Amino acid sequence: MAMAAATPHGHTPVGAAAATSAAASIACSSSAASCYEDDDDYGGASSSWSLSSPRRRQPYRRLLRDEAQRLRRARRGQGPGADTPRWVRRTTDQMARYVEDDRAGHVYGRHVVAAVRAVRATASRPAADMRQAMASFVTRLTFREMCVVLREQRGWRPARDFFAWMKLQPTPFCCGCMAGLGKIKLAEETFLEMLQVGCEPDAVACGTLLCAYARWGRHKDMMLFYSAVRRRELVPPVSVYNYMISSLQKQKLHDKVIHMWKQMLEAGALPNQFTYTVAISSFVKEDLLEEAMDVFGEMRRCRFVPEEATYSLLISVSSRHGKGEQALRLFEEMKDQGIAPSNYTCASLLSLYYKNEDYSKALSLFSEMEDNKIIPDEVIYGILIRIYGKLGLYEEAQQTFEEIEKAGLLSDEQTYVAMAQVHLNDGDYDRALEVLESMMMRNMKPSHFSYSALLRCYVAKEDIAAAEDTFRALSQNGLPDVFCCNDLLRLYMRVGHLEKARALVLKMREDDFQLDEGLSMTVMEFYCKNSMIKDAEKLFKDIQRNRKTVKIPTMLLLIEMYARNRSSVILKEHSSSKALDETAASVVLKSLLDMPGGLSSVSLLISKFAREGSTDEAKFIYDHLTELGFKPDDSAIATLIVQYGQVKQLDQAQELFESASAFFPEGANVYNAMVDAFCKCGKTEDAYHLFMEMADQGSNRDAVTVSILVTHLTKHGKFQEVENIIHGCFQDEVQLDTVLYNTFIKSMLESGKLHSAISIYDRMISSCISQSMQTFNLMISVYGKGGKLDKSVEMFAAAQELGLPIDEKMYTNMLSLYGKAGRHREASLMFKRMKEDGIRPGKISFNSMINAYATSGLYSEAKSMFQEMQDCGHTPDSFSYLALIRAYTEAKLYTQAEEAIQMMLNSNTTPSCPHFSHLIFAFLKEGQIGEAQRIYNQMKEASVAPDLACCRTMMRVYMEHGLMDQGISLYETTRGSLKPDSFILSAAFHLYEHAGRESEAQDVLDAISVSGTSFLRNIKIGSKL
């Protein structure tokens, strides 16, 4: 080296050697080295170098910066688990280049070069004063730089004088050196001595002492010293700020980190990437999302690329604050930067998706993790198990749980609880218990979450003893949370252990347990269902006193309790002008009505009571509403009126209708309900008049109400009123539906006005009203009754073309029509087709087929069908036997007909007159009067009264064959049970007169006159003798 050559024989003076060694030792200090990172660079390299040569760019620093940048990029890509060294080690080549550059003298600034020249200039002036020569360099040179100036001297005299001057300078760097070596107390003393001699400390010295305070955790002294530094208007370098906030953050003093961040910005220091990262982390730890995002935005504007840990923290806190879109934007930005997400980031996003029930995106992210070879940890697997549980993929959840266990990752209690929750949601409480028990077998200490899940299992299984044991385990550290108390209380209420429920509620009240909305609701429900009015009122007042919002369901429970217990309390407080419960009920009701949606909720409660049949309770609430000046919804009043009609309390219905009419003068619901009540009470005329009054007022005629009214009028045979209603609906173009059209057609069918029924059907088709199965069935009956079998067949085919599911009723209707028309072949084919369509024939279908065969005289087929009906498990009824008897009599198989009657009697099936009449008429037709008389006697022995047709036929035969005694006996035995008939009365008169019994004949004439029947004079006795 040239500078070394200037010293004779290559030896360095003793003082210079000491300074050089001191400088070398100080250069090893990281804090001192960091002080010179911002020195200015100079260009213009010279071929021959010297200390006075312009300063060139320092290669070793460029190399170190490049290495640091490479490591930062690696850390961003690797996530928070990146293996980043605490310092950068120089390679052998880098160290060689550093030493070479140091020898070249390119590592110092201009002021050092100027100082070297000034000292060298004193060598030519022996009388020169070193103090005057170095006056301009006082406080400008650091200790290291003084050592460099000393080393670069070429003569011993300047070196001696400069060394003497050097000892007189109390440099700030001495203080920094001591602080860096951990001698904080000595550094403080040196710092004070420096101030006393008037040496002003620089930013480097102050920064070094601040770093020392931060390093050794003396944060209070650090903050005090920082305040003193700022009062001297010194601004430490950014590296010092980084050291300080990093130390504060390690001690979780995030509020002080934020304070220091703000102080740094106010001082005008420019943060670097590390500063932004630490500040964002502290803002996040303090849950200051907006401030963290502001710092993050400033960091990006300064073109710093955030690390994965920064993105992860912001994504997590955004998810926690419910800002899912912001979290997703950060995640997408992180991926655009090429930064691979860590497990923590993925867990935060999966939790966000789980919370938002966006399970498809959660599963997609999990697949993306597998593609990027990001190994999930137990937390992520636990979230995945919960997602599978929400999707109902219980087997997949169980499989994932087993995979975790096989991989040896199963160590967290929350994973066990998550799997147990999945089984609980699936209703598999035994497997949930197995999971929790296996956790306890692994010596995992159960926490509150485990006990809560265990309690849910026992509550669901209604295992009271185990539930109580679990609850006691939870109670070791005080009363469990509201959810556990709620579960146990509901269990007691469900199984009827009211005393235990009462004790649990009492324990909560003694411990001043704070009830949440759900538990308050349960306790209130317990009080109300057990008629504990005072306790319920006290709980209600406590809730109001604590200024908590009483929810509408809780208020409704109170009102329901007052309504259900009104009688007992009123009797107890009868001496008062107004019962206590009424007063309390009014207070609660008034509070409820002041809430949004309160009136509609009360109206729904009135409707609920009415539908349950609790009309008194519904009326109780209605009266209180009206007293408070409120009116419930017309639908609630309508429901109550309909219920009054259902229980035949017409007076109460009319009273309510009259009071409600003042509230709803044009309320169609109330009018329709009153029409319905009239119909249910049998007051069809009143219902009709009220309906017509509605029509005259222009009120909306509800299709349901019209259908109910028409049905009742038809049942009472008031077909003219029905026609008036139908005409009014058509004229006023009332909106009619399929059901109402069917009701109109059915009414006309029953009245025999088939043409009107067909006209209504045609109007239905032209109005494009959809036809139902009942419509086609009714029209088949209409055409069948009118003898238009072909039209009925067309209706049946039309129903099939529309794809309507043909039911047994329609098939039976067609079988009956075919049978009446004597078309047994078509009936047989229809019956077969019905069975092919998968419709199991019922008893009515079999009876129709037996009748069809009987009409055609096919007794054998009728008998086979009768047997098939029994084989299908149907017990023959009266109509079945009647059809079989008819088939036998049509075939003149009288013995089998009698056997059928006897079989019917043996099966305890009550016969009627037609069962005997068919055989009686057959015998009479054959002239076998004695056999007919025998069957007639059997009928009377079976306690079956003969009908008018049977009596007239028997009387006619007796008259024709001159059997006067039998005719008179028939008249005398049946006259009290049959209505007056002109033929029987006239025949009885002729029989009495022919027998010479004039008085009885005169009595018959009087009966004829009283009944208003006509007298038949041309009847002859013995016309066939």
Give the integer Cα–Cα distance in Å for 312 and 284.
11
Q: Which pair of tokens denotes residue 952?
A: 């007239």
Q: Are residues 858 and 894 in the same domain?
A: yes
Averaged pLDDT score across all residues of the chain? 79
Lowest average pLDDT, out of 83-92, 656-665, 822-831, 983-992, goes to: 83-92
**Rounded mean pLDDT, 419-438:** 84
Residue after which a domain boundary falls, among 893, 920, 944:
944
Helix axes 92-104, 59-78, angle to 10 degrees: 150
Is 128 within a domain? no
Lowest average pLDDT, out of 168-182, 560-574, 687-701, goes to: 168-182
**Residue whose C-alpha is closest to residue 439's, from 423, 456, 422, 451:** 451
Give the integer Cα–Cα distance in Å for 21 and 958.
159
Q: Are residues 868 and 925 in the same domain?
A: yes
The confidence band for 602, taking pLDDT boundaries of 50, 70 and 90, is confident
pLDDT for residue 216 = 82
**Residue whose C-alpha is closest to residue 988's, from 924, 1006, 920:** 1006
pLDDT for residue 941 = 86
pLDDT over 80 (residue 18) = no
pLDDT for residue 759 = 92
Q: Are residues 898 and 836 in the same domain?
A: yes
Higher pLDDT, 576 or 967: 967
Is 814 within a domain? yes
The confidence band for 779, taking pLDDT boundaries of 50, 70 and 90, is very high
pLDDT over 70 (residue 412) = yes
pLDDT over 80 (residue 881) = yes
**pLDDT tens, position by position, 245-278:** 888 888 889 999 999 899 888 888 889 989 999 9
pLDDT for residue 396 = 83
pLDDT for residue 748 = 92
pLDDT over 70 (residue 583) = no
Q: Are residues 983 and 1000 in the same domain?
A: yes
3-class SS at 875? coil
**Residue whose C-alpha is closest to residue 884's, from 873, 948, 872, 909:** 909
Q: Are residues 872 and 835 in the same domain?
A: yes
**Rounded mean pLDDT, 1000-1008:** 86
Residue after which a domain boundary falls, among 761, 784, 801:
801
Kindly report the backbone phi and psi dihedral angles of residue 597, in degrees, each rounded to the nearest multiple of 5, phi listed first. Answer: 80, 5
Task: Give how far Cα 533 sits from Cα of 150, 474, 504, 733, Å.
Answer: 99, 31, 18, 54
pLDDT over 80 (residue 691) = yes
pLDDT over 70 (residue 46) = no
Give the integer Cα–Cα distance in Å for 558 and 521.
10
Domain count, the chain: 3
**Rounded mean pLDDT, 121-138:** 81
**Rounded mean pLDDT, 554-581:** 61
- Would you tell me how many other CB atoms lie within 10 Å of the CB of residue 596? 8
Q: Are residues 875 and 975 in the same domain?
A: no
Helix axes 378-390, 359-371, angle to 10 degrees: 140
**Rounded mean pLDDT, 645-667:** 79
Q: Are residues 886 and 975 in the same domain?
A: no
In the numeric block, the tokens 């173009």 are attached to 733
pLDDT for residue 181 = 43
Q: Are residues 939 and 870 in the same domain?
A: yes
Q: Are residues 858 and 928 in the same domain?
A: yes
In the numeric block, the tokens 């004597």 are attached to 822
pLDDT over 80 (residue 561) = yes
DSSP state of 47: S
pLDDT for residue 553 = 80
Q: Are residues 789 and 818 in the same domain?
A: no
Is 265 within a domain? no
The confidence band for 836, taking pLDDT boundaries of 50, 70 and 90, is confident
Q: Are residues 817 and 875 in the same domain?
A: yes
Q: Which pair of tokens denotes residue 765?
A: 């088709």
Residue after which a domain boundary falls, among 944, 970, 986:
944
Cα angle vertex 725, ends 719, 728, to 5°?
140
Is 440 within a domain? no
**Residue whose C-alpha is closest to residue 717's, from 744, 679, 747, 689:** 747
Q: What percent of the chain has pLDDT over 90?
A: 3
The confidence band for 215, taking pLDDT boundaries of 50, 70 and 90, is confident
Torsion angle defined by CA atoms of residues 129, 135, 140 and 142, in that order, rounded to the nearest 10 degrees: 20
Q: Which pair of tokens denotes residue 924?
A: 């009479």
CATH number at residue 916: 1.25.40.10
Is 243 within 8 Å of 213 (Cβ atoms)?
no
pLDDT over 80 (residue 429) = yes
Higher pLDDT, 619 or 1: 619
pLDDT for residue 42 = 33
**In 25-115, at which residue ranges do the beta strands (DSSP E only) sit?**
none
pLDDT for residue 942 = 86
Is 640 within a domain? no
In the numeric block, the tokens 């990752």 are attached to 409
pLDDT over 50 (residue 1023) = yes
pLDDT for residue 397 = 82
**pLDDT tens, position by position, 853-880:** 888 888 899 889 989 888 988 889 888 8
Higher pLDDT, 19 or 966: 966
Is 898 within a domain? yes
Is 920 within a domain? yes
Give the integer Cα–Cα distance in Å for 688 and 679.
9
**pLDDT tens, position by position, 730-751:** 888 888 889 989 999 999 998 8
Higher pLDDT, 50 or 396: 396
Domain that holds residue 971: 950-1025
Is 230 within a domain? no
First to last CA, the chain: 172
pLDDT over 50 (residue 54) = no
Higher pLDDT, 180 or 526: 526
Q: What percent of the chain has pLDDT over 70?
A: 84
pLDDT for residue 150 = 77
Is 118 within 8 Å of 133 (Cβ atoms)?
yes
Q: Are residues 930 and 843 in the same domain?
A: yes
Identity at 234, one-letter amino acid code: L
- Would you tell me how many other CB atoms lie within 10 Å of the CB of residue 720? 10
The confidence band for 421, taking pLDDT boundaries of 50, 70 and 90, is confident
